[in-house]
Amino acid sequence: MSPKVSKEHLQQRRADILEAAKRVFIQYGYEAATMKHVMEEAGVSRGGLYQYFSNKEDLYETILKENLSEVSDKTKRSLDEKTASYWDLLLLRVFGEDKQPNDEMDPLAPSNLEFFITGRNDERRRKYGQQRYRKGLKVYADVIEAGQKSGEFSSQYDSKVLARTIISFIDGLALDHAILPEEDVQLKDQSTMLLEYLKMTLNVE
Amino acid sequence: MSPKVSKEHLQQRRADILEAAKRVFIQYGYEAATMKHVMEEAGVSRGGLYQYFSNKEDLYETILKENLSEVSDKTKRSLDEKTASYWDLLLLRVFGEDKQPNDEMDPLAPSNLEFFITGRNDERRRKYGQQRYRKGLKVYADVIEAGQKSGEFSSQYDSKVLARTIISFIDGLALDHAILPEEDVQLKDQSTMLLEYLKMTLNVE
DNA sequence: TTGCAAAACGACACCGGTGTCGTTATAATA
DNA sequence: TATTATAACGACACCGGTGTCGTTTTGCAA
């Protein structure tokens, strides 16, 4: 398809592989996914794949990196510009675009948890995870702190503690729904509980 | 040590292996732990180990089984006998013996999460996890429901949804602290947030 | 159209973990 | 003390996944 350079083709191929890999990780999870799965899904050979990514870890971290930005960046930007209430900002960060409890969840969330928890004893992976987490944490903490300073939110809880707790809460929900079927309790129900929690701890509405 | 039967020696050996395995799983986590680690930690040969447990999964599920009971059983029993307030019962279940936020955590918790999340695509493992989870859920739901019926707890939230949310919350904390260092936010701080959450949703104190 | 750089290929060797099985060692029993 | 059932042993074959590397293919440029 693209021997001897061409940059565009090269990037396209890379993007294709990344897309395929993402699908594979969503389907199998991080541990169970193999490079062979990715090869087949992307329609590329072993050698071809390794030309772009040196191993599964590299591949996954690339996906993580490119996925991180979206909502988080948007929240950060909005915070700087202060285009909405802090409460709206927080809802945006927590629930995404529709800003309210919903049934959707980042399909990569389970794999992410898997990636970080299985990597907790690996120096490199742990450092990477922590760094990443801190960034995410900061977004929450900043919004909360700003909201508290403005008087929009109650200041009864420490912004950092609250931020970390909210993230734990969210991760817990993702974990729970990765393992368990919906049955009588829907993800939406629990998202609503999370919303209630936010209202209570920030004393909003 | 114990050729030709003796039942006691046999059970002792089995118990020793189980103890060793537990240590190994705590240290390495489920995925990274190998039967070799267990062999070495238990001071038993490959063949010896396989005499007692047919594989890692078997080994781990046995540990899970024997660890499950403790607090959960105690709570269940207390509930039947109604020896304490439902609030006390709930605290016992959530925080363990001292019934208040603390810095400790089941050292196996991270491995457990790992075990269940990596097993989510395996028919057997998933079924097993779900069944186990349901049991745990029921303990919470029963306490909450009883407390609500007695008027001790507010009934504004559905007991099942609340139970599942509490468990998610707890698992989220365990996950968070398996991956992240304590830094400025301590596990105890977040346990306190959990306690607050319980008070708010059940309208206690 | 021809030459070439390098993208794509896939066979291969390697590795670590697994579970088995024939052998050896030993505690109970008579 | 001899016998024996079987616990314990550890070498081995196997397997699936990984990453490499020599070969082939192919798009661009002269």
**Domains of chain A from N-terminus onward:** 1-53 (1.10.10.60), 68-202 (1.10.357.10)
Provide the pLDDT for residue A5: 67
User: How is B11-48 classified by DSSP, letter by letter?
Assistant: HHHHHHHHHHHHHHHHHH-TTT--HHHHHHHHT--HHH
Beta carbons of B179 and A121 less than 8 Å apart: no
Which residue from B31, B121, B157 is facing A118, i.e. has the nearest CB? B31
Q: What's the rounded Cα separation, in Å, for the pair A8 and A102?
A: 38
Residues in A 9-48 with any Cβ partner in B closer than 8 A: 28-29, 31-32
Q: Does A156 touch chain B (CB under 8 A)?
A: no
3-state SS string for B130-175: HHHHHHHHHHHHHHHHHHHHCCCCCCCCCHHHHHHHHHHHHHHHHH
A118 contacts B118? CB cut-off 8 A = yes
Mark yes or no for CB contact A129/B179 under 8 Å: yes
Cβ neighbour number for residue B52 with a 10 Å cutoff = 19
- Asked if B45 CB < 7 A from strand D, the reply is yes
Q: What are the pLDDT digits (tens) for A125-170?
A: 999 999 999 999 999 999 999 999 999 999 999 999 999 999 999 9
- DSSP track, A30-53: TTT--HHHHHHHHT--HHHHHHH-
pLDDT at B69: 66
Q: What is the pLDDT of residue A68?
A: 77
For residue B55, pLDDT over 90 is answered with yes
Nucleotides in chain C near protein beta carbons (<7 Å): 4-12, 16-22, 25-28
- CA atom of A8 to C1′ atom of C1, Å: 26
> Is the pLDDT reported for residue A2 higher than 60?
no
Average pLDDT, integer, range B57-70: 90
* CA-closest candidate to residue A179, choices B133, B161, B177: B133
Query: How far apart are the C-alpha atoms of A135 and B180, rounded to whole Å?
Result: 13
Q: Which residues does B186 contact at the CB level (< 8 Å), separation at least 6?
A: B103
CA atoms of A179 and B113, how far apart (whole Å): 9
Chain D bases under 7 Å from protein CB? 4-12, 16-22, 25-28
Integer Cα distance of A133 and A136 in angstroms: 5
DSSP string computed for A129-182: HHHHHHHHHHHHHHHHHHHHHTTSS--SS-HHHHHHHHHHHHHHHHHHHHHS--
Q: Which of B81-85, B98-102, B108-112 has the lowest mean pLDDT?
A: B81-85
Contact A175/B170, CB-based, under 8 Å?
A: no
Q: Is A102 helix (H, G, I), strand (E, B) or coil?
A: coil
Residue B60: the pLDDT is 98
Binding-face residues of B in 63-82 toward A, CB within 8 A? none
With a CB-CB cutoff of 8 Å, which residues 120-139 of chain A face chain B?
A: 120-121, 126, 129-130, 133
| CA dist., res. B126 & res. A131, Å (int) | 32
Which two tokens mark A90? 């927080």
- In this predicted structure, the answer to whether residue B2 has a pLDDT above a threshold of 70 is no
Which residues does B174 contact at the CB level (< 8 Å), separation at least 6? B105, B106, B109, B110, B113
Reported as a pLDDT band with limits 50, 70 and 90, residue B79 is confident
pLDDT at position B49: 98
Q: For chain B, give the mean pLDDT.
A: 93
Would you say the C-beta of B1 is within 7 Å of strand D?
yes
Each residue's pLDDT tens digit, A111-131:
999 999 999 999 999 999 999
The better pLDDT of the pair B201, B72 is held by B201
Chain A interface, best mutation among B175, B183, B200, B203, by max A CB count within 10 A: B175
